[in-house]
Amino acid sequence: MEFAQLLDLILHVDKSLGSLLEAYGPLVYAVLFAIVFAETGLVVFPFLPGDTLLFIAGAFCANGMMSAPLLITLLVVAAITGNTVNYLIGRALGNRVFTHDYRWIDRTALEKTHAFFESHGGKTIVLARWLPVIRTFAPFVAGISSMPFGRFQLFNVTGALLWVVALVMAGYFFGNIPIIRDHLNTIVLIGVGAAAGPVALAALLRFVKKLRRGGASGAA
C-alpha cells in the first residue's frame, strides 16, 4: 500500500472501517487507539477524524463486529494519555509558543483555543472534547497556562469518559439510522451549544458587571 493510500485510509477511516475490520480483524482496535491518541495528543494532527470515528465504531459494535466494552476502554485510555502528553508538551514549551514561530503549530487555532480557555477555564478541557481542532489544542493550552496537573487530570478524565462513552453508545443505538449518521457533526455542535450556552452567558454577565464597576469607579 502506497503512502498516499495509507493517508487517505486514515483520514477516512470512519468511512472505511468495515473494510478494515474484514481485512485486519482485531488489529483495527490498535489503529483506532493510535488515531484517537494522535488527534488528542499531538497538535500537528487536528485533522484526524474524532467524533464520527467513535460514532461509526459504536455502530459496528451494535452489528457484533466489535466489542463495545473493549472499544470504550481502549479509547478512553487513548484520549486520557493523548491529552496528558499534549499538556506536558505545552507545559514544557510555555509562553514561548506565543513569541516564537513554530511552523508545526496552527497559530490561528492556538489563539482561538487560548481565548476559549480564558473564557471557560478548566471546563474547556471537557467542552473541547466535542469541538474539532479545539479538542486537539485545549490540553496544549492548559499546559502553556500552567494549569495544576491534578486539576487538569480531573477535567481530562471526566471529558474522556463523557466523550467516548456518549459517542460510542450513541453509535451503538443510533448509528444505523441514516439521517442521524449523516448529520452527526451538526447534532454534536447543537449539543455542545446547549451545554456551553449557560457557561458563556455567565461569563458574559460577569464581564458586563466588571465593566459597570469600572465605569462607576471612574465616575466617582
pLDDT digits over 147-160, tens only?
889 989 999 999 99
Per-residue pLDDT band for 1 (boundaries 50, 70, 90) equals: very low
Q: What pLDDT is attached to residue 124? A: 78
90 CB-side CA count, 13 A: 31
State the cell numbers at 170: 450513541
State the cell numbers at 115: 481565548
Per-residue pLDDT band for 24 (boundaries 50, 70, 90) equals: confident
What's the pTM? 0.73
Q: Residue 109 in contact with residue 134, Cβ under 8 Å?
A: yes
User: CB neighbours (10 Å) of residue 154?
Assistant: 14
Q: What pLDDT is attached to residue 9? A: 59
pLDDT digits over 57-90, tens only?
888 898 888 999 999 999 999 999 999 999 998 8
State the cell numbers at 35: 488515531
> Distance between CA atoms of 117 and 132, rounded to whole angstroms?
15
Q: Residue 139 in contact with residue 90, Cβ under 8 Å?
A: yes
Q: Between these two residues, 17 and 126, which has the higher pLDDT value?
A: 126
